[in-house]
Amino acid sequence: MLIKAALPAGGVTRSGTVWFVGAGPGDPELITVKGRALIERAGAILFAGSLVSEAAMRWAPAGCAIADSKDMTLEEMSAWLIAQASRCETVVRLQTGDPGLYGALIELVQPLDAAGVPIQVVPGVSSAMASAAAAVESLTLPEVTQTVIFTRMEGRTPMPEGESLAALAAHHSTLCIFLSITLMGKVTAALSEAGWSPDAPVVVVHKASWPGEEKIVRGTVSTIQALCREAKLVSQSMIIASPTLGARQWTTLAKSKLYDASFTHRFRRASVPATELTQENP
């Protein structure tokens, strides 16, 4: 049941702390231990019901005021949090993924700052990481790419100058593309414009980690749009384009120098001379 609370008359007289907690990508068990502990002692929880599983509410104590923000404006959300902070020591704003990625964190924090309400942020597992895990892919590989770009396709929210997908894709590093599944045609066009091969691999993960709802679609720049349409993916899907995709099946792979037998660091001395290793593995 959605509870909407008005600001207390005369403003906040005593204030608990509002904790912005990353709920993770979907599986309730992927919330951090600290995040779960805050839910367990919360006097009030405002969760993003369109994206966060209600299963996370099972840890809330009896009597906890729980509200779903999916039909609330930012102003209503801020008012609710401020009102609850006037009566509860611990208030939780439960956000999908990580609060600092594509969330309204700063927009919600500013009114709380103005009202004198203390805030804290607890990070969460991003859907980008959960998607790579679901697909058993590494976002970085030695001598392939050491860079990961989190971005989105321009939609109702415009992109800043220099941050078009085509401009970012020109780096040919890993791209984790959020909030863009309904714009897949534009995504593949941008990749093509940036010089990606029609055969370059792309993986799309829908509801990464959600029990019983996760879907993984693999394709290429030229096929992924049709495959996603066939799978009826229209929301909550992470698009990953990367030169590292499919490395699990590669027959040759550059290995990390950190674990190389010829590499010395403060925890281990080299056991094989670098020249000998090079001769054995030309």
Which pLDDT score is estimated for 275? 57
- Whether residue 270 is contained in a domain is answered as yes
Question: Has residue 220 been placed in a domain?
Answer: yes
Mean pLDDT, range 65-72, rounded to an integer:
94
Sequence-distant (≥ 6) Cβ neighbours of residue 274 within 8 angstroms: 262
∠ CA 180-211-247 to the nearest 5 degrees? 60
- Do 53 and 113 share a domain, yes or no? yes
Q: Which pLDDT value is given to residue 264? A: 63
Tell me if residue 141 falls in helix, strand or coil: strand
Average pLDDT in the 100-129 region? Answer: 96
Selection from 216, 238, 241, 217 nearest residue 227 by Cα: 217
Residue 272 has pLDDT above 90, yes or no: no
- Worst-scoring range by mean pLDDT, 29-33, 35-39, 206-210, 254-258? 254-258
Say how many domains are in the chain.
3
Mean pLDDT of the chain: 90
- Is residue 12 situated within a structural domain? no
pLDDT 10s digits, 11-56: 445 689 999 999 999 999 999 999 999 999 999 999 988 778 777 8
Q: What is the pLDDT of residue 15?
A: 81
Q: Domain range holding 196?
A: 128-249
Mean pLDDT of the region 171-189: 97
CATH number at 148 reads 3.30.950.10
11 located within any domain: no
Contact 201, 222 (CB under 8 A): no
Q: In terms of domains, do 176 and 234 share one?
A: yes
Write out pLDDT tens, residues 125-149. 999 999 999 999 999 999 999 999 9
Distance of CA 138 to the CA centre of its chain: 15
Are 112 and 196 members of one domain? no
Task: Tell me the DSSP string of 13-46.
Answer: SS--EEEEEE-BSS-GGGS-HHHHHHHHH-SEEE
Consecutive H or E run containing 120? strand 119-122
**Residue 157, in any domain of the structure:** yes
Indicate the residue type of 1: M
Question: Does residue 45 sit in the same domain as residue 68?
Answer: yes
**What pLDDT is attached to residue 51?**
78
Q: Is residue 168 part of a domain?
A: yes
